C-alpha cells in the first residue's frame, strides 16, 4: 500500500486527537470563566475564545477528510454539527456538558484507520492513474477566455499528460503552448500537439517566471514522502508554478473540492484576485468531485480572512457549475512576453532537433568555420623577420603553387655553441650558448634544399 493512500487517514486521526483535547479542556475553561472576576475573568474569556477558534478551525479538516473517504452520511453529520458549533451560545449556557457529549458521540462515529484503508482503493482509482481533463469541460473554459486580438499569448500546463487539454484550449487562437510531463510516453505524444514539451519532473525543470498569460493546472492528487514529511502534490504544483504567471495572468486550477484546504486557500487569496470556484458537471463531478478555481495573479499581500471562500467547498452542491462561466468573462493580458527559459528535467533529443531546425545558430557556426579556413593574404608585403615568424609557426607549410611548384616546411632547430673565455692569466671559463635557428626545407623539381 503506497503512502498516497493515507493522507485523509492521517489528517482524520490528527483531527480526532485535537477534538478530544478540546472537548476535555472546554468544561475546565468554562468553569474558570464562571468563577473568575475582574482581570481573571478577561483572561478566562480569552482562553475560551481561543479554544472555540481552534474548534471551528479543526472541523472543516474533518469534513474534508470524510469527503475524500466518500462517506456521504458522515459528511452530512459533520457539516450539521459544524453549523451548530458556529451558532452555539458559548457564554450563555451554564456548562458545556451537552456540547462535550455531542462531540464525544461524533468522535465515536468516525472510522478507524483499518476502515479508511479499505476505502482507499476508491480514491486511488483517481490518484494513481492518468486522468486528463474532460474536453467538454475544457470547451466551457475556452469559451470563457477572451484571447487578446493581434497578440500572441503563452499558455503553460506543468503536468500536461498527452497535451490534449492544452492543445484543445489553444486551438484556433494565436497562442504558443508549453507543457511538461514526467511520463516519457505521454510526453512524446504531447510533442505532436504542443509547441514545446519539457520531459521529466516539473520541479526540476527551468521555466521563465512571469512569462505566461495563462497557467492551466490539473495536478496529480497525490501525497508523497519528502525530506520534510508528507508533501501534497496538488499544493506543491500550485506553489511552484504560479510564479510563471505574469501579473494579471489567468490561473485555471483543477482539484477535488475535498483538497481545497486552508493552506491552499490562503496561498490563492494572498497571490490572486477575483477568485471564483466552479464545479464540474454531471458524471465527471460524481466520479472525480473536481472544481475549477479561476483568478488573476497580483502582487502578494497578506490575507487575514479566508473563511468565506474556504467554507464554500463544505457545501459543494451549492458551487456554480462550470457551464455557467460567462462567455469571454476571463480576459488574458494583452502584453507580449518572451519565454526566455524553458527546459525540462530530462534532455529531450527530439525537441532539440526540432529547435535546431528553426535556429540560425548552426548556419552561423558553419559560416565562422568557413572564414577560418579560407585563403588569407597579408595586406602588405612581409619583411624578413615576419617571414621567419610565420615560417617557424608552420603557417606557410605545404605546397606552394607558382611557376616552379615546390613543397616547403619551416622548423626551428636548437644549436649549442661552446666558447672559452679567459678570465685572467691563470683562469679560463667555458661558456655554452643555446640559440634557435630557423630552417626551411624545400622540395622542388630540381631537388631538395635546406635553407637557414
The tens digit of pLDDT for each residue in 78-106 reads: 999 999 999 999 998 988 999 999 999 99
Residue whose grid cell is 474558570:
32
User: Between these two residues, 116 and 67, which has the higher pLDDT value?
Assistant: 67
Note the pLDDT tens digit of each residue in 139-178: 999 999 999 998 999 999 999 999 999 999 999 999 999 9
Last residue of a domain, one of 102, 127, 152: 127
Three cell numbers, residue 441: 626545407
Sign of CA dihedral 194, 341, 251, 125: positive
Mean pLDDT of all residues in the chain? 84
Indicate whether 241 pLDDT > 80: yes
Task: Using a pLDDT cut of 70, give the percent of the chain over it.
Answer: 81
Residue 441 shares a structural domain with residue 344? no
Residue 349 shares a structural domain with residue 285? yes
Measured in whole angstroms, how far is the alpha carbon of residue 56 from the centre of its chain?
33
Residue 177 shares a structural domain with residue 117? no
Residue 205 shares a structural domain with residue 342? yes
Residue 112 shares a structural domain with residue 168? no
Residue 117: partners with Cβ closer than 8 Å, 6 or more residues away: 1, 5, 6, 9
Buried b (16+ CB within 10 A) or exposed e, 114-135: eebeebbeebbebbeeebebbe
What is the per-residue pLDDT for 233?
85
Last residue of a domain, one of 127, 152, 182: 127
Q: Is the pTM for the entire model greater than 0.85?
A: no
Residue 201 shares a structural domain with residue 279? yes
Note the pLDDT tens digit of each residue in 258-287: 989 889 999 999 999 999 999 999 988 988
User: Between these two residues, 315 and 411, which has the higher pLDDT value?
Assistant: 315
Indicate whether 127 pLDDT > 50: no
246 forms beta bridges with none
Per-residue pLDDT averaged across 302-322, rounded? 86
Indicate whether 120 pLDDT > 50: no
CA distance 157 to 295: 16
CA distance 49 to 136: 48
Q: 32 lies in which domain range? A: 3-127
Residue 160 shares a structural domain with residue 255? yes
With H, G, I as helix, E, B as strand and everything else as coil, classify residue 258.
Answer: helix
Residue 370 lies in a domain: no
Residue 190 shares a structural domain with residue 112? no
Residue 363 lies in a domain: no
What is the per-residue pLDDT for 126?
44
Per-residue pLDDT averaged across 174-200, rounded? 94
Task: Using a pLDDT cut of 90, give the percent of the chain over it.
Answer: 48
Indicate whether 116 pLDDT > 60: no
Amino acid at each position: 500500500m503506497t503512502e498516497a493512500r493515507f493522507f485523509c487517514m492521517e489528517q482524520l486521526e490528527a483531527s480526532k486527537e485535537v477534538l478530544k483535547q478540546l472537548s476535555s479542556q472546554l468544561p475546565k475553561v468554562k468553569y474558570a470563566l464562571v468563577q473568575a472576576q475582574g482581570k481573571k475573568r478577561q483572561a478566562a474569556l480569552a482562553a475560551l475564545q481561543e479554544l472555540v477558534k481552534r474548534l471551528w478551525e479543526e472541523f472543516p479538516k474533518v469534513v474534508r477528510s470524510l469527503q475524500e473517504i466518500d462517506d456521504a452520511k458522515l459528511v452530512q453529520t459533520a457539516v450539521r454539527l459544524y453549523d451548530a458549533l458556529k451558532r452555539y451560545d458559548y457564554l450563555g449556557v451554564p456548562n458545556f456538558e451537552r456540547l462535550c457529549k455531542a462531540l464525544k458521540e461524533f468522535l465515536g462515529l468516525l472510522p478507524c484507520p483499518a476502515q479508511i484503508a479499505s476505502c482507499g482503493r476508491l480514491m486511488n482509482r483517481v490518484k494513481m492513474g492518468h486522468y486528463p481533463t474532460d474536453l467538454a469541460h475544457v470547451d466551457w473554459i475556452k469559451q470563457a477566455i477572451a484571447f487578446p486580438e493581434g497578440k500572441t499569448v503563452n499558455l503553460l500546463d506543468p503536468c500536461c499528460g498527452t497535451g490534449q487539454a492544452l492543445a484543445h484550449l489553444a486551438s484556433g487562437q494565436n497562442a504558443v503552448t508549453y507543457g511538461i510531463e514526467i511520463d516519457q510516453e505521454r510526453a512524446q505524444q504531447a510533442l505532436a500537439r504542443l509547441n514545446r514539451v519539457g520531459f521529466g519532473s516539473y520541479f526540476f525543470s527551468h521555466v521563465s517566471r512571469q512569462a505566461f498569460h495563462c497557467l492551466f493546472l490539473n495536478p496529480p492528487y497525490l501525497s508523497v514522502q519528502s525530506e520534510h514529511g508528507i508533501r501534497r502534490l496538488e499544493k506543491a504544483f500550485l506553489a511552484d508554478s504560479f510564479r510563471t504567471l505574469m501579473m494579471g495572468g489567468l490561473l485555471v486550477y483543477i482539484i477535488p473540492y475535498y483538497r481545497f484546504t486552508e493552506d491552499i486557500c490562503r496561498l490563492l487569496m494572498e497571490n490572486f484576485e477575483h477568485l471564483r470556484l466552479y464545479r464540474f458537471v454531471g458524471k465527471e463531478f460524481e466520479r472525480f468531485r473536481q472544481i475549477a478555481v479561476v483568478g488573476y495573479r497580483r502582487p502578494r499581500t497578506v490575507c487575514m480572512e479566508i473563511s468565506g471562500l474556504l467554507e464554500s467547498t463544505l457545501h459543494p452542491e451549492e458551487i456554480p457549475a462550470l457551464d455557467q462561466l460567462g462567455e469571454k468573462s476571463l480576459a488574458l493580458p494583452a502584453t507580449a512576453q518572451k519565454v526566455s527559459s524553458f527546459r525540462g528535467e530530462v534532455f529531450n533529443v527530439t525537441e532539440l532537433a526540432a529547435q535546431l531546425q528553426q535556429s540560425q545558430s548552426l548556419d552561423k557556426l558553419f559560416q565562422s568555420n568557413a572564414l577560418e579556413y579560407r585563403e588569407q593574404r597579408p595586406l602588405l608585403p612581409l619583411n624578413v623577420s615576419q617571414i621567419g615568424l610565420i615560417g617557424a609557426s608552420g603557417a606557410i607549410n605545404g605546397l606552394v603553387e607558382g611557376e616552379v611548384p615546390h613543397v616547403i616546411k619551416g622548423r626551428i632547430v636548437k644549436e649549442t655553441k661552446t666558447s672559452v673565455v679567459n678570465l685572467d692569466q691563470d683562469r679560463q671559463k667555458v661558456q655554452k650558448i643555446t640559440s634557435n635557428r630557423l630552417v626551411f626545407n624545400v622540395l622542388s623539381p630540381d631537388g631538395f634544399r635546406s635553407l637557414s
